[in-house]
Amino acid sequence: MCGIAGFSGSTQSLSKDTFAKALETLNKRGPDHREIFQEGNLFLGHARLSIIDTSNNGHQPMSDPSGRYTIVFNGEIFNYEELRKTCVSDVTYTSTSDTEVLLHLLIRKGKDAIALLNGFFAFAFYDKHENTLLIARDRFGVKPLLYAQTQEGFAFASEMKALLQLPVKKEIDFDTLFLYLQLNYVPFEHSMLKGVMKVKPGHYLQLNGTAIVANEAYYSIPFSPKNYTSLSYEESQIELRSLLEGAVERRLVSDVPLGAFLSGGIDSSIIVSIAARKVQHLNTFSIGFKDNPYFDETQYAKLVADRYKTNHTVFSISNEAMYENIFDLLDYIDEPFADSSAIAVYSLCQQTRTKATVSLSGDGGDELFAGYNKHKAMYRFEQMKVLNPLFAVSSPIWNLFPQSRNSKMGNVFRQLSRYSEGAKLKADERYWRWCVFADENTTATMFGKPMFSEAVMKARKQELYQLIDESDLNTSLLADMKMVLPNDMLTKVDLMSMANSLEVRTPLLDYTVVNFAFQIPFQYKLRNGVTKSILKDAFRADLPEELFNRGKKGFEVPLTHWLKTGLWSLIDEDLLSERFVTEQGVFNYDSVRDLKQQLQSNNPGDAHARIWGLLVFQYWYRKYFSA
């Protein structure tokens, strides 16, 4: 696990000292070693977190003996031993690292090597003789990779903060900001800055000098509704078990202390049940919420830990301790990201890093096997077609009731309101509405003047909309895999783990598991209203029954309380004050004021999430534009 950066200039437009400052911003991703390769106007930099072959022989940038080829690589290739034996066995190796195997595989096969990799990665491969670069990102976007093409040259990096040290213009993309205000994260391949893009998951770029000559996919999820597996539900469970066991086993290779997150939920419990049969006294880690017993699942995690005799550690975190992490989190992120559960994930990663350098997680299960409330809502929508017109006209009724995530009935009314809004819409727009915190009209009122293009935003969403087919709800899961997973869930885990120099591995996102998940029908995933049915049934005998007899909770934090108390002065007197908002000239203060008043009312709805999104943006704006 590492951070990478690079710059290819058309002229001598960058000094090595400037590039070194860019690389230094990635020190938390790679605290163990930093090094720069330079060839004329090209720089490649690497900041290393040592995992496989921790000796100096594993350092990067890494070149072949001839000096023609050089690589910088972030991530892990889990099948590197197999690839070494089958594809590049005739090479004399100087290390036992997966990096050296990848280097020689790329020398031998070029871009065709990427599809052979099983792992998560972002890398750049340089051919000095041809003056070409090949940069690529893993299939599902576990590892980030941003780039910008400017008049001075081509720049790329693992994080935006490194790019901003290079000749990259800082100009806000207001179409991206509009979508961010709806979702609380930045979707698609765009960023909050014009001209700064993200390599799409499963894609590679080829450069000749500073010019991009190819931007193509090497992988797409093999989804064909007319060609689902002929395996029965029971046979599919057996196949899923086999694939996931192989995925976990591949991710147990490490030369540093390894453990696993154990939340007490189904996904992480399954991962631990497999790993603990491979590793004696597996280290497992849970986070308990001292002040939020409703969201504390440590008792369920302990049931799993006891069954598999893991070396279990519970980090009991108070609201105050999590609150203290908020500003460290805000200082680390370099593009607005406002999924508030990141605060709890930050605390978990911070504590886990005191005992391990690598941790397995259960991320991906909800997107693959229909684990979210919106999936259940989509299922119900299809089951209740006769009643849906009644829900479509009932929105005014539900809006009369107090809506809030902070009480059981308030959350029920909130969900009924969202369901009734979705019932009015076409399938693609309904999917979008159930993803966002605010619709287009509400979001538009947040701007002081029109700064966005409806046509541009429609075009950006079109690729997503084209996937949605209400006759097959697997299409909504495919949309989640393209938008929600890489841009929200995986971004959250990557940011919070890297902020604490911790590598997180995700067995459920082994491409063999993902491929199979989209070869089985949606009915296997959500049966009789039960989410993640096939995953639960495949491992039911391995887990305590108590895990199956309770509702889904998640990594909630007392965000509303914090916003109304400890953070209120930052909101009301500073970042969302009338003075700051007016001087900034981006937002309509009347709408901001209304949102602040809604937060303090007895009917806050999703105001807490929308205020948090604004606060995160304002904090970022001040850091990068008002400093």
Which are the catalytic amino acids?
A: 2
Contact 184, 609 (CB under 8 A): yes
3-class SS shares of the chain: helix, strand, coil, % to 5 = 45, 15, 35
CA-to-CA distance for 227 and 338, rounded, in angstroms? Answer: 38
CA-to-CA distance for 27 and 49, rounded, in angstroms? Answer: 9
Q: Helix and strand tally (H, E) in the chain?
A: 28, 17
Instruction: For the chain, give the number of residues.
Output: 627
Q: What are phi and psi of 126, to 5 degrees?
A: -115, 135
- Count CA atoms closer than 13 A to 286's CA, side-chain side: 27
Q: Which of 340, 334, 377, 351 is nearest to 625 (CA)?
A: 334
Amino acid, single-letter form, for residue 408: K
- Alpha helices by DSSP H, 353-487: 365-369, 373-383, 388-392, 395-398, 408-422, 427-433, 440-444, 454-465, 474-482, 484
CA-to-CA distance for 313 and 301, rounded, in angstroms? Answer: 10
Q: Exposure string (b/e) for 561-592, b if CB count within 10 Å is 16 or more?
A: bbbbeebbebbeeebbbeebbeebebbbbebb
Strand pairing category for 311-317 and 283-289: parallel
Beta bridge partners of 119: 77
Beta bridge partners of 172: 193
Q: Look at the alpha carbons of 364, 148, 2, 84 in this order and tell me if their dihedral is positive or negative.
A: positive
Number of Cβ within 10 Å of residue 449's Cβ equals 7
Contact 526, 476 (CB under 8 A): no
| Helix or strand holding residue 216 (H, E) | strand 211-217
Beta bridge partners of 71: 62, 125
Contact 186, 335 (CB under 8 A): yes
